[in-house]
Structure 1
């Protein structure tokens, strides 16, 4: 009988992953099923999907592991980020509230497991599951592993040395020194912190109902110039860093209403981004000095910060850097499943060739049903969907693209994407106002043919998971203004033919038409919703937004006022025509 191990994240961004005989079969977030972004709902549908894909009955599982040691939440007064923002940690009454919320977190986890028939699930240390996810996916034989997030049970930053199948803990920082909480606090000051995707659900505990939107702060940082500096908030000794909460609270004078960042907000965002990158370098240098290893793995929610990741990757400290595509808590489910396999077999899990496309596939029946129920009349089947999409993009149209297996993690990487022309200066405004319904200052990312990266970006690196930023070459910026941020940077996805043949072909067709080897890529969803899972989700995004065209498998649909080329010649002189 196969040895199958299930990993679960059940606090927020809930998810499931399954490893069978050392192979990662699939991983998926619950939000993709219930359409509740960053959901904290127990991952019932995600579990059933994993079991179905693995061909395993629940009774035949060798083990179930969790991404937190929930027993450590008892007698625990470490704050959640919402507590820090509300200043609950400043006095005895606040500390009592925090302890009660930690206790409630343990009780809710225990009750959820019992209600769902999993009372014997294993508890794993949170940062260990992050470290395991990153290390076992990296393919490294040895690594210096750095985990940074808001909080685990009682730690917020941890340093590890991984070698062979072992992952050894070296040191940790308490939640009071949380870099993740620092970044989230500044996010709140900038008016970017609030309930996200939870649709006003009254049953969501307040202390886990908020999502910081720290990625928005990273984007806002590009507009800052260093006019504000607060070096007494985060300081460094010879062997430790310290966050001084009393100094941090002095920044409250810069707080703005939700959704209204101002000039000071831009400077705060710039400052906290610079301090994060400084902390990265400090910790990485210390870690390398202890391990003697310059192959780094980054994990934890903070590791989604592509600017800080790139700063470390291009530094003299790191020879190699790996960041897993789902570095946040959802990805820790892979770590929980993998740790069980290692304990059982004494072997490392097999490094999967495909670490991205781990979700459900687009199938012919679901496409047909979605189209039949859409009410859209302009629909056609095409022989070359990549060529048709490329021609439409080159003609200035915004294209939804839904193909193959869905991505795992927060980035759309070419299977559930909205695509547009990076040459068009008007495209960001159109996407923000008519399609994504989001803030006008947020940047968009490019997907570029991997072999062309160095011709368009400085300090070019492999970046298959869109977790590294690069500066657009100064002589190329005017050619691709839609993906060039105000500071000249771009959050790049490098695409190889081996990793995603169809998406590679689309970009290559666009290159044949325009001479530009990249397309603008953002996730196939509208604001407040998770990335589309099914063709029906994709069609709803199409009908409820300003998307011009949707390509699902080999079916194309388009709006009444749009002209498309259904042959998708993909070379030279495409001209749109009425169909």
Structure 2
């Protein structure tokens, strides 16, 4: 038996993964420190590392190997970790996605803001895209794209971003639209659908003028400087805001950003398909969170089988690092080594721990024998439910263990959750969770989407039936729920289907504005009490706020 720790992150999203043989436990720092993305952490990876060790009843000296992606060297003290092994940042991304896939062989594409520094440079030149080939138990890098930090943004006086980076390109769009750095790109994706629905393509050619697509999978993205994207679109946005509806202008800019991102990404995939003759593709890196483009890949490229790791951002490199450590510390074998543990990698909290938390706050609760039916009934009557079960999800998506749930038929529900519970922009879409066997009935799905990796179109006949999960462009970021991976959530969906005829629930992350997804029962209770969520389910226990029982959902 070997005990392996992988630590991950970059300058944000720090995490740890403990691998005991092939049993995986992992968590992100933010879930413990309660600081989103673990920004400005004074002790990166230490909170998550200690969490994993405590759960397993181990000490640091019980660990055989500690692996980290080499990008962490800019923020951690390597002397804190005995005999730490450093691995290329993008390689840990590649390991995280290929070795969690069902494929024996696959093309691998890693795209993010920036990865490891190019050796022999002062650190200003870094990898931004990596092409690789996975075969059996090996990963081979076949090409890379590099960027640099040249150029100054004199108009905006903003930070110089990495050139030739799809991740930094999309970040620049988010910051131009004043949507934020780490949280902004997801907002851009949602906003872009409004620009597409308006048919407003006016900024696409201007944005493409900052980009050159080159042979052998290379590309140039001019982000900084006088003719760079940042200053150019700052001035464009300012000028158009004076003349037209600012929302429509921002939606058009977001739409242009999404279209251009897709042009560059499909350019990389066209190259990759010429180098590797397979229909299988594995994606990782922060850009792989763009579920809008992910959903188009099977239809527009030669890659028909697409695997997107459930935590493709930098926190996922902790899992990739631990897998790298396992493979490099294992005896050579012809057996295929894969890790199919799924995203539920946090520690579960016992019924005793939940009851202690409930009693400490003085909440009234019940323990109904027909819990699933009662909750499904409350949902069908228009109630929002905070659903807290088992082990927490690793990664940015709530997938049925730390979720806020609602009736997708309720036309008022999206606005209610965005405005009154999440306190965020009104244009943000909300996702559906659907029984896996019925996914293709309701969505134009090429494959199952267990972890919200893909946006599929809602079939047109269901647009009016499912208004709160159907975005303005008719799309939805789908979660296909399987009984094997999440029997509790699956059972709730079955009960909701029995009552309503619809095997779908609206699913969004259980957190309130500015906070990470809840981890402990105490945090769940706090978020419940500080929000307008109606019902809290903690394991087998039910807490219901007082409301008018005669209320009926407007559907």
TM-score calculated relative to the size of structure 2: 0.87
- Pairing 1:365–2:347 present: no
Could you tell me how far apart the structure 2 residues matched to 1:275 and 1:132 are?
A: 28
1:66 is paired with a residue whose SS is strand
Q: Given the superposition, is the C-alpha separation of residues 528 and 255 from structure 1 closer, same or farther in structure 2, using an over 3 Å criterion?
A: farther
Kept in 1: contact 2:237–2:249 (CA 8 A) = no
- Pairing 1:219–2:219 present: no
2:134 is paired with a residue whose SS is strand
Could you tell me how far apart the structure 2 residues matched to 1:254 and 1:383 are?
A: 60
2:67 is paired with a residue whose SS is strand
Farther off after superposition, 391-400 or 310-319: 310-319
Q: Given the superposition, is the C-alpha separation of residues 425 and 70 from structure 1 closer, same or farther in structure 2, using an over 3 Å criterion?
A: closer
Farther off after superposition, 305-314 or 338-347: 338-347
Unaligned runs of 5+ in 1: 72-105, 194-209, 565-573
Which residue of 237, 240, 247 maps to 1:262?
247
What do residues 394-432 of structure 1 show as CA deviations (whole Å, max 9, x unaligned)?
A: 000000000111111100000110000000011111111
Corresponding residue for residue 297 of structure 1: 282
1:179 Cα shift? 0.6
1:135 Cα shift? 0.7
Corresponding residue for residue 418 of structure 1: 404
Corresponding residue for residue 52 of structure 1: 54
Q: Given the superposition, is the C-alpha separation of residues 397 and 261 from structure 1 closer, same or farther in structure 2, using an over 3 Å criterion?
A: farther
Could you tell me how far apart the structure 2 residues matched to 1:57 and 1:420 are?
A: 42
Kept in 1: contact 2:164–2:221 (CA 8 A) = yes
Could you tell me how far apart the structure 2 residues matched to 1:322 and 1:365 are?
A: 38
1:266 Cα shift? 0.6
1:304 Cα shift? 0.7
Which residue of 220, 225, 232 maps to 1:250?
232
1:255 Cα shift? 4.5
Number of equivalences: 507
Kept in 2: contact 1:136–1:349 (CA 8 A) = no
Corresponding residue for residue 92 of structure 1: none
Which residues in structure 2 correspond to 1:266-285 (within 5 Å)?
266-285=251-270
- Pairing 1:511–2:478 present: no
Could you tell me how far apart the structure 2 residues matched to 1:316 and 1:129 are?
A: 25
- Pairing 1:64–2:59 present: no
Corresponding residue for residue 35 of structure 1: 34
RMSD: 2.1
Corresponding residue for residue 8 of structure 1: 7
Which residue of 138, 149, 170 maps to 2:112?
149
2:186 is paired with a residue whose SS is helix
Could you tell me how far apart the structure 2 residues matched to 1:464 and 1:366 are?
A: 29
1:261 Cα shift? 6.2
Which residues in structure 2 correspond to 1:545-556 (within 5 Å)?
545-556=531-542
Which residues in structure 2 correspond to 1:384-463 (within 5 Å)?
384-463=370-449
What do residues 213-268 of structure 1 show as CA deviations (whole Å, max 9, x unaligned)?
A: 210000000100323222212232343322123242321214569xx963221111
TM-score calculated relative to the size of structure 1: 0.84
1:575 Cα shift? 8.7
2:347 is paired with a residue whose SS is coil
2:99 is paired with a residue whose SS is helix
1:49 Cα shift? 2.4
1:367 is paired with a residue whose SS is helix
Corresponding residue for residue 192 of structure 1: 179
2:167 is paired with a residue whose SS is helix
Kept in 1: contact 2:8–2:72 (CA 8 A) = no
Which residue of 134, 142, 145 maps to 1:162?
134
1:211 is paired with a residue whose SS is coil
1:119 Cα shift? 4.7
What do residues 335-376 of structure 1 show as CA deviations (whole Å, max 9, x unaligned)?
A: 111111111114588433431111121311221122112243
1:20 Cα shift? 2.1
2:507 is paired with a residue whose SS is strand
1:161 Cα shift? 0.9
